[in-house]
Amino acid sequence: MIPVDYYLFLSLALFTIGVIGVLTRRNVIIMLMSIELILNAVNINLMVFSRMWGTVDGQVFAIFIITDAAAEAAVGLGIILAFFHNRETVLADEMDIMKW
Amino acid sequence: MNAPYFLEHIWLIPLFPLLTAAVMLFYGRKLANNIVSYLCAGSVFVSFIFSVGAFFQLVAMPQGERFFTKVLFQWLPAIPYHMFDGRLANFVASWEFQIDPLSAVMILVVTGVGFLIHVYSTGYMAHEGGYYRFFGYLNLFMFAMLILVLANNFLMMFVGWEGVGTCSYLLIGFYFHRKSASDAGKKAFIVNRVGDAGFLLGIFLCSAVLGTVRFSDIGPTLRAGHFQNGDPWLTAIALLLFVGAAGKSAQIPLYVWLPDAMEGPTPVSALIHAATMVTAGVYMVTRTNAIYELAPKAMYVVALVGAITALFAATIGVVQNDIKKVLAYSTVSQLGYMFLACGVGAFTAGIFHLMTHAFFKGLLFLAAGSVIHALSGEQDMRKMGALSKRIPVTYWTMLIATLAIAGIFPFAGFVSKDLILGKAYEQDVLLWAIGYFTAGMTAFYMFRLIFMTFHGTSRVDHEVEHHIHESPKAMLVPLVILAGLSIVGGLVSWPEILGGNSHFVHFLEPVVGAAHDARMEPLKGPSSRIGEINLMLLSEGLVVLGILCAWYLYIKRTELPAKIAKSLNGFYELVYHKYYVDELYDALFVNRAKDLGLALGWFDTNVINGVGVDGAGWLARFVSRVSMWWDTWIVDGSVKLGARIVWVLSFPVRLIQDGLVQSYMLFIVIGLIGFLGYYFYLAHYAVH
C-alpha cells in the first residue's frame, strides 16, 4: 500500500502549481483553470484522509467541491464573457476597475 | 264660519304658475313644444279661473267687509325690537295672502292679460329657440307678480318685487347672444337695484316708525292717532317707498331702463314692461295710500314726478322711429299718468287707468309684435307703411288700442284718463295742464305710429315685401279679445256725469280708506258737473287736434316732418337723443363706477398684490437665499471638511488597492504562507 505521504506531496505539488498559475498567468481563463487545479488538490487530500480513516465524510465533501467547481466555472466564464463584451480583453492586469 | 272655497285657497293662484315654471326649468328641455304650451298657458288659465272665483266670492261679501286674509305659515318668528319712540314692537312676517278689492282687480288683470299673452306667445315664439325656457321664465314671472299683489306685508311683497325684477332681467336678456340684449338686461337690473334700495329703506323705516310691516295693520296704526298730518317720518317713508316705485315703474329719474328693455321678445314687453310688472309701483303706492294720505308733501312729489315723466316721455316718443321704442316711451308716459293720479289722491283712478292701460298697451305691444312678425323682424317704422290691407286684423285691433290710449270717446282710455285729469284739475291746475298737454301729444305720436306703419306709401324692403303675412290664430285671438276689452273696459266705471255709476271706483273705495274721503272734497255741485263735462270736451278737442296734426304731417304732407326737424335742428337732436339722459348718467354714474372699479383694481394690483403678495414672496425668497448660503457653506462645508480629512489620512492605505486580482491573490498567498510559517514554527519549537 502506498503511504499517505505520497498522496500528500502530490496534492501539495498540484496546489502549488495552481497557486503559481493563478499568480503569474495574465489570462483569466487560465487563472480559472489553475483554480480548478487548487480545488482538485484539495479533493485529493480529502479522498486520502477519507480512505485512511475509513469514513465517507471526505468523499461527501469532495462531491460538494466538484459541484462548487462546476458552478464556479459557469459563473466565472459568464463574468469573463460579459467583461469581454465591454472591455474586449481577458487579461487580468488590464482589469483594474476594482481599484478605489 | 267656513270661508268660501276660492278665498280659502287664494294661495293656490300663484302656485300653479310656480309648478309649471319648475317643470319647465328642470325638465323643459325634454318636452315637446306643444306640451310646453298647454302646460304653461293652462296653468295660467287655471289661476285665472281661481282669480275669477275669488273675485266673485269677494263681491258676494257685503260692501265694506270685502277683505279676506289667509296665513299659509309664519315666515319669521316674532322678533322684539324698540321702535323710534321707544315702544317695544314685534317684528312679524308671515306668508299671508290677502284679497281685497285692490288685490282682486290686480290678480284678474295679471292672470287675465297674462293668459292672453301666453296664448299669443305660443304663436309668436313658435320658431324661436329656447321655447321652454321662455315659458318657464314667463310662468315664474306670473308667480312672482301674483305673490307681489297678494302679499299682506312688505316683506312678502318684496319677495315678489324682486322676483319680477329677476324675471324681467332674464326675459330682457332672453336673446343673450346679442350683446345689446344682455346689456339691456343688466341695465334694467341695476337701475331697479337703485329703486329697491329706496324701497328697502322705506320698509325698515316703516317698521321702525309704525312698528309693523303688515299692510292691514298700517291703516289702524295710523288712525290710532299718534301721527300728525305731514309727520316728517311718514313723509320720509312715503318718499323712500316712492323711490322704489319709481325704479320699478320707470319714472324720472329711473326710467332709463324701460326703453332699453324692448330688447326682449315682444310678448315680454307686452306682459312685463307694459301691462303688469311696471305697474307694481302704482300698486304699491296705492296699497300704502294710508301713509301717503298723511304725507301731503310726498303726495305732491309723486304727482309732480308723474306729470313731468308723462310729458317728458311723450316728447321723446314723438321722434322715435323704432315701433317698440315709441310704445316704450308711451308706457313711461302713461305710468306717469297713474302716478299723477295717485299723487292727487285719486288712487282709484290710478288703478283704473292701470287696468285699462293693461288692456290697450298690452294690445298695442302684441299688435306691434304681429307687425314685426309679418315684416320678418323689421322694427323701424321708416321701413313700414301701407300695411292696413295686408294685415287687416292686426290693423283694426291696433287702431282700436290707439283710439283707446289717445282717449277717444267712448273707449277705455277716455274714461280712465279723463278721470285722472278731472281729479288733477281739482287739486292743481298746473298738474292738470301738464297732463292735458300730454294727452294731445299722446294722440299725436300714437297716430303718427299708426300712419307710418299702416298708411301712406309702402317703404318696406323688397325682399321683406314678399313675406308679409297675417299672423297665426294663436296670435290674433288674444288681439281681438284685448281689443274688445279696450272698447268696453271703460264701461265698468262709466262716469256718473254721463249716466254711469262709477262701479269700479266705488268698488275700490274701501281700500283707499276713510282718510281719503275726508280730505278730498268730492265736487258734487252742479257747477263742478258742468266743469267735468267741459274738461272732457276740452281734452277730446285737443286729442282730435293731435290726430289731425299727425294726419297732416304723415299722410298729407309727408315731406314736412323732415323740414320741421331741420328748422328745429338743435332741439330735434336733443329730443331724438332722448335729452342725452343716458349719456349724462354714463358720465355721472356709470363711468364713475367704472373709475372706482379701475381705482380698486389698481389698488389690488399694486397694493394688495404688489406690496402684500409679491412683497411676501420676495421676503420668503430672501430668507431662503440666506438659509441656502448657510447650508452650502456652513453645514455642507463642515461635512465636506470631515470627508477631506479622511481622504488625506487614507492615502497610504489606498496605495495597495491597485484593483488587480492577482495582486490581491498574492496578498492572500503571502498571508497564507505567513500563517503556515507561524504554525510550523509553533509545531517545531513549542514541543521543546
Contact B368, B323 (CB under 8 A): yes
**How many residues would you count in chain A?**
100
Cβ contacts of residue B426 below 8 Å, gap of 6+? B344, B520, B521, B523
Determine which of B650, B658, B661 to mutate to test the interface with A (most A C-beta atoms within 10 Å).
Answer: B661
Q: What is the full DSSP assignment across A43-88?
A: HHHHHHHHHHHT-SHHHHHHHHHHHHHHHHHHHHHHHHHHHHHHHS
Backbone CA torsion sign across B676, B679, B683, B684:
positive
Closest to B221 measured CA to CA, from B357, B96, B83: B83
* Domain residue limits at A16: 4-93
Determine, for residues A96 and B658 on separate chains, whether the beta-carbon distance falls below 8 Å.
yes
Q: Residue B225 corresponds to which amino acid?
A: G
Residue-level pLDDT at B528:
58
Distance from CA of B684 to the nearest CA of A (A): 19
Within 119-158 of B, beta carbons closer than 8 Å to A belong to none
Widest distance between CA atoms in chain A: 54
Closest to B303 measured CA to CA, from B331, B345, B274, B258: B345
pLDDT range class, residue B688, cuts 50, 70, 90:
low
A10 touches chain B (CB under 8 A): no
Determine, for residues A96 and B660 on separate chains, whether the beta-carbon distance falls below 8 Å.
yes
Instruction: Tell me if A27 is assigned to some domain.
Output: yes
Contact B539, B435 (CB under 8 A): no
Distance from CA of A19 to the nearest CA of B (A): 8
pLDDT at B399 over 90: yes
Helical axes B101-124 vs B503-519, angle rounded to 10°: 130
A95 touches chain B (CB under 8 A): yes
List helix spans (H) across B211-288.
Answer: 215-223, 232-248, 257-260, 266-270, 280-287
Per-residue model confidence as pLDDT tens digits over A60-71: 999 999 999 999
Instruction: Tell me if A65 is assigned to some domain.
Output: yes
Distance from CA of A90 to the nearest CA of B (A): 12
B164/B507 Cα distance (integer angstroms): 27
Residue-level pLDDT at B2:
65
Determine, for residues A19 and B669 on separate chains, whether the beta-carbon distance falls below 8 Å.
yes
Distance from CA of B605 to the nearest CA of A (A): 60
A30 touches chain B (CB under 8 A): no
Residue-level pLDDT at B530:
62
Residue-level pLDDT at B571:
83
Contact B334, B252 (CB under 8 A): no
pLDDT at B518 over 70: no
Instruction: Tell me if A100 is assigned to some domain.
Output: no
Pull the grid cell for residue B652. Answer: 497610504
Counted across chains A and B, CB pairs separated by less than 8 A come out at 34
pLDDT at B526 over 50: no
CA A46 to chain centre: 14
Pull the grid cell for residue B358. Answer: 293693461
Residue-level pLDDT at B501:
75
Residue-level pLDDT at B42:
94
Q: What residues in A contact B661, CB-CB < 8 Å?
A: 28, 31, 92, 95, 98
3-state secondary structure of B638: helix
**Domain of residue A67, CATH code:** 1.10.287.3510
The overall average pLDDT reported for chain B is 88
3-state secondary structure B155-221: HHHHHHHHHHHHHHHHHHCCCCCCHHHHHHHHHHHHHHHHHHHHHHHHHHHHHHHHCCCEHHHHHHH
pLDDT range class, residue B464, cuts 50, 70, 90:
confident
B199/A63 Cα distance (integer angstroms): 110
For residue A23, give the nearest of B654, B657, B669 by CB distance: B669
Determine, for residues B665 and A23 on separate chains, whether the beta-carbon distance falls below 8 Å.
yes
**Which long-range contacts (C-beta less than 8 Å, at least 24 apart) are formed by B152-155?**
B152/B69, B152/B94, B152/B96, B152/B97, B152/B98, B152/B214, B152/B215, B152/B216, B153/B93, B153/B94, B153/B96, B153/B213, B153/B214, B153/B215, B154/B203, B154/B206, B154/B207, B154/B213, B154/B215, B155/B75, B155/B76, B155/B93, B155/B203, B155/B213
pLDDT at B210 over 50: yes
Distance from CA of B669 to the nearest CA of A (A): 8
3-state secondary structure of B98: strand
Closest to B200 measured CA to CA, from B82, B284, B274, B84: B284
pLDDT at B496 over 90: no
pLDDT at B617 over 60: yes
Instruction: Tell me if A19 is assigned to some domain.
Output: yes
For residue A99, give the nearest of B657, B666, B669 by CB distance: B657
ipTM metric: 0.82
A42 touches chain B (CB under 8 A): no
| Closest residue on chain B to A16 (Cα) | B669
pLDDT range class, residue B527, cuts 50, 70, 90:
very low
Residue-level pLDDT at B168:
94
For residue A23, give the nearest of B657, B659, B662 by CB distance: B662
Mean pLDDT value of segment B467-473:
86
Contact A33, A21 (CB under 8 A): yes
Instruction: Tell me if A63 is assigned to some domain.
Output: yes
Residue-level pLDDT at B298:
92
Closest to B668 measured CA to CA, from A19, A33, A37: A19
Per-residue model confidence as pLDDT tens digits over B321-368: 999 999 999 999 999 999 999 999 889 889 999 999 999 999 999 999
List helix spans (H) across B455-502.
Answer: 462-465, 473-488
Q: CB-hemisphere CA count at 13 Å for A64? A: 8
B519/B515 Cα distance (integer angstroms): 6
Q: CB-hemisphere CA count at 13 Å for B95? A: 12
| Closest residue on chain B to A99 (Cα) | B659
Please state which of the ranges A84-98, B51-65, B240-254 shows the lowest mean pLDDT.
Answer: A84-98
Which H or E run contains B455?
Answer: none
Instruction: Tell me if A98 is assigned to some domain.
Output: no
Determine which of B665, B668, B676 to mutate to test the interface with A (most A C-beta atoms within 10 Å).
Answer: B665
| Closest residue on chain B to A27 (Cα) | B662
Please report, rounded to a whole number, the percentage of residues in chain B having pLDDT higher than 90. 53
Determine which of A12, A16, A17, A22 to mutate to test the interface with B (most B C-beta atoms within 10 Å).
Answer: A22
Residue-level pLDDT at B398:
94
Mean pLDDT value of segment B412-422:
88
Angle at B34 between CA B33 and CA B39, to 5 degrees: 100
Other Cβ atoms closer than 10 A to A15: 18
B273/B331 Cα distance (integer angstroms): 8
Contact B193, B200 (CB under 8 A): no
Determine, for residues B661 and A31 on separate chains, whether the beta-carbon distance falls below 8 Å.
yes
Instruction: Tell me if A99 is assigned to some domain.
Output: no
Number of domains in chain A: 1
pLDDT at B161 over 60: yes
B280/B285 Cα distance (integer angstroms): 9
**Which long-range contacts (C-beta less than 8 Å, at least 24 apart) are formed by B129-133?**
B130/B174, B131/B33, B131/B36, B132/B24, B132/B28, B132/B29, B132/B31, B132/B33, B132/B36, B133/B24, B133/B25, B133/B28, B133/B174
Q: What residues in A contact B669, CB-CB < 8 Å?
A: 19, 23
Residue-level pLDDT at A43:
94
Per-residue model confidence as pLDDT tens digits over B128-157: 888 999 999 999 999 999 999 999 999 999
3-state secondary structure of B460: coil
